[in-house]
Amino acid sequence: MAIRITSDSTCDLSHLVAERDIGIMSLKVNLDMDEYYDGVNITPEEIFAFVSKTGILPKTSAPSVFDYQEFFEKQLTLADEVLHFNISQKSSVSHNNAVTAAKNFNGKVRVIDSMALSSGQGLLVVKAADMRDEGKSMDEIEETILSLRERVNTSFVPDSLDYLYKGGRVSKMTMYGANLLKIHPEIYMEKGQLLPGKKYRGKMSVCIKQYIEDLHAKYPNYDKTRCFVTHSTADPELVEFAIEKVKELFHFDKIEVTVAGSIVTSHCGRNTLGVLFIYND
């Protein structure tokens, strides 16, 4: 039976969406009174310009149950079954709405809480696409993904805490202190929840160097198939520096560079960068 792999737009797969034939359900971004769709008619640059002009963080919202019903109906015209991925349910109601909608399709639609976001979620989506292309069954794919989702390193280092402060994720004192002391804390996910990690200090290139070295020390055993270097419109020099550092310390078959979409950008701001991969026990 033909299997369709789909995801909400927080997977940040950029060019891989078309290359791997992945269906995408867009989350919504609201700039004042105007509503946009992530990856469709809004860009990170427009978000940065809006925040710079107004000082207001965009509001983001998940697709409704009805939106998901329409989406799944369309996807089922392309395949017999759909395996859909969502951003961690601890970060959005997108997953719960998708689960509710899937109940209307007699088991033809299965929904997975990635327990991640951005290309941490994307790693699972692409793994499922790998298995689909290998001819694996829906049961085999779902079982494998559920066994992997707690072994995804989803982490990143923001250049500034301004957006996280505006979104209520850090205090004003924390933001001011970080800006004053040039502190760039690692943000990582554990069991689907965003948590603060090690605090790096100095210019971003120094922090990214230490961050990647720490990942290498923390995860000596990892899936070498691929890793993602995902960033929110970061400086090209910083992205290239991160790629070279990953190549120096790790041995991935592929290093995929993707740009964070409007949902992730709305919460982390410009120049945030993460190195994401699946690790082994």
Residues 8 and 140 in one domain: yes
Predicted local confidence at residue 109, as pLDDT: 98
Predicted local confidence at residue 10, as pLDDT: 93
Residues 13 and 139 in one domain: yes
Residues 131 and 184 in one domain: no
Residue ending a domain, among 99, 134, 149, is 149
| pLDDT over 80 at 240, yes or no | yes
Predicted local confidence at residue 185, as pLDDT: 86
Within the chain, what is the greatest distance between any pair of CA atoms? Answer: 57
Q: What H or E segment, with its residue span, contains residue 133? A: helix 118-133
Chain center to CA of 180: 29
Q: Which domain holds residue 164?
A: 152-278
Beta bridge partners of 29: 36, 60
- pLDDT category at 173 given cuts 50, 70, 90 is very low
